[in-house]
């Protein structure tokens, strides 16, 4: 609030100083017996271009138009004085207006217009002494040119510096938005794909049960299909809830604060709702493992378990047992997911994924200073696949 008030005061003081300098120009022209209307036209056009409020400025009044037209009017005024061999007055007001327009040209004009508009404003300013001094390199004319050139270089350099800051700020904002889009894409993969894969697997189980094998057993009874259908309903509901939260992040609403991330406590619910017909999921959690670990570490551990379970559904649907272990090894959190599947799966090729989940998971783990290992279960410990991640606990 206070900074806005200070900015308003500074702007008001600058506007007042510009108007006062312009009034000095008109007073000088009047006292020396020149026509006042000529400098008045030049100043009016320049002041309108500089002081027109941005909120009320029409879209067609582009920065290049604002900076080029007043400079052309000034150049025409100077050229008329030289051609007609008549002295014409100039003062601080017109010089200040042209410097302001030079600042606008360098900072706000599109890249392809910057040099042209800046050169036009600078040329108009440096040509002003020609109205009174025909030889710019002698006497006071040379002094005006030197001082004007110094002012032009100073204003142009300051405007270019601010333009570079604007560019870096824009790049930073774009990078932040890109990272946010990547994070949202990770959310969509980690949560929605997990539930949708579960729906697909359980739907296949229901179809196989409904088809039956007439030569060996009758069609299943409703009570046999009900647990499978209930699992499909639960997975669909969770997928819709995850999608709704993700859309809330995109819309920047109150839902954004409920961004779909998990923690160690949520892993229990994840494993409880995973097992399909004929499967068993066992969760072993070290009693010494507390819930006061950093939130980023807990969320990454949740994603490791979620991605590992999703890959079991995709690539090892024949697994009978899936074991999830959460333990503390010194100052590190150890997360392990092991299945005894042989890689048998009946999912369509389009639903098996392209390995992007593990790539993103590895980036997430290493970003926290952790390690991720995926591969077959070590020899002598049975068969299946193992996913193991280790995180700094602090």
For residue 71, tell me if it sits in a domain.
yes
pLDDT given at position 326: 92
pLDDT given at position 257: 45
Angle CA 256–261–266, to nearest 5: 135
For residue 167, tell me if it sits in a domain.
no
pLDDT given at position 135: 55
pLDDT given at position 254: 45
For residue 197, tell me if it sits in a domain.
no
Calpha distance 158→169 (Å, rounded): 17
If phi > 0 it is left, if psi is from -120 to 50 it is alpha, else beta; for residue 86 that is: beta
How many structural domains are present in the chain?
A: 2
In the block, which residue shows the tokens 């790539």? Answer: 359
Torsion of Cα atoms, 351 then 209 then 278 then 311, to 10°: 0
pLDDT given at position 169: 87
For residue 200, tell me if it sits in a domain.
no
Q: Domain residues for 12?
A: 2-132
Full pLDDT tens readout for the chain, 394 residues: 555 666 777 778 888 888 888 888 888 878 777 778 888 898 899 989 888 888 788 888 899 999 999 999 999 998 888 888 777 777 888 899 999 999 999 999 999 999 999 999 999 999 888 887 755 556 676 788 888 899 999 999 999 999 999 899 888 888 877 776 676 666 666 666 666 666 766 676 666 666 655 444 555 566 566 666 666 766 677 666 666 666 665 555 444 444 445 778 888 888 887 776 677 889 999 888 887 788 788 888 888 888 888 888 777 777 888 999 999 887 889 999 998 887 655 555 544 555 556 777 788 788 888 899 988 887 666 678 889 999 887 7
Query: Contact at 8 Å (CB) between 202 and 228?
Result: yes
Calpha distance 351→315 (Å, rounded): 10
Calpha distance 107→115 (Å, rounded): 11
- Rounded to a whole number, what is the largest CA-CA distance in the chain? 118
For residue 102, tell me if it sits in a domain.
yes
Instruction: Report the SS3 class of residue 374.
Output: strand
Query: Contact at 8 Å (CB) between 156 and 122?
Result: yes
User: Residue 338 is part of a domain; what is its CATH number?
Assistant: 3.30.565.10
Domain boundary, last residue among 88, 115, 132: 132
Domain boundary, last residue among 86, 110, 132: 132
Domain boundary, last residue among 72, 107, 132: 132
For residue 230, tell me if it sits in a domain.
no
For residue 137, tell me if it sits in a domain.
no
pLDDT given at position 256: 43
For residue 9, tell me if it sits in a domain.
yes
């Amino acid at each position: 609030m206070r900074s806005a008030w200070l900015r308003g005061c500074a702007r008001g003081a600058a506007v007042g100083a510009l108007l006062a300098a312009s009034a000095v120009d008109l007073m000088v022209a009047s006292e020396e017996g020149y026509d006042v209307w000529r400098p008045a036209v030049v100043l009016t056009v320049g002041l309108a271009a500089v002081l027109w409020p941005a909120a009320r400025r029409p879209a067609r009044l582009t920065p290049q138009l604002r900076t080029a037209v007043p400079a052309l009017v000034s150049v025409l005024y100077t050229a008329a004085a030289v051609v007609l061999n008549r002295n014409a007055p100039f003062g601080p007001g017109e010089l200040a207006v042209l410097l302001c327009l030079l600042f606008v040209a360098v900072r706000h004009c599109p890249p392809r217009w910057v040099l042209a508009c800046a050169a036009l404003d600078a040329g108009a300013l440096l040509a002003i002494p020609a109205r009174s001094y025909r030889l710019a390199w002698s006497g006071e004319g040379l002094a005006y040119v030197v001082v004007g050139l110094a002012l032009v270089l100073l204003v142009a350099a300051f405007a270019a510096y601010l333009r570079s800051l604007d560019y870096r700020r824009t790049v930073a904002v774009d990078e932040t938005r890109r990272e946010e889009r990547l994070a949202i894409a990770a959310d969509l993969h980690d949560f929605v794909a997990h539930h949708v894969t579960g729906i697909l697997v359980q739907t296949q189980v229901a179809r196989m049960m409904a088809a039956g094998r007439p030569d060996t057993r009758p069609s299943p009874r409703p009570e046999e299909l009900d647990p499978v259908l209930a699992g499909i309903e639960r997975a669909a509901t969770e997928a819709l809830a995850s999608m709704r939260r993700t859309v809330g992040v995109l819309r920047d609403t109150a839902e954004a604060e409920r961004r779909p991330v998990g923690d160690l406590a949520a892993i229990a619910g994840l494993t409880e709702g995973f097992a399909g017909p004929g499967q068993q999921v066992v969760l072993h959690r070290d009693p010494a493992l507390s819930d006061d670990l950093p939130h980023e570490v807990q969320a990454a551990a949740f994603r490791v378990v979620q991605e590992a379970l999703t890959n079991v559904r995709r690539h090892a649907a024949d697994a009978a047992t899936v074991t999830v272990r959460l333990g503390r090894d010194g100052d590190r959190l150890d997360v392990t997911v092991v299945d005894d599947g042989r890689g048998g799966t009946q999912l369509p090729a389009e639903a098996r994924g392209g390995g992007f989940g593990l790539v993103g998971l590895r980036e997430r783990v290493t970003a926290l200073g952790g390690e991720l290992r995926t591969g077959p279960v070590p020899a002598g410990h049975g068969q299946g696949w193992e996913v193991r991640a280790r995180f700094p606990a602090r």
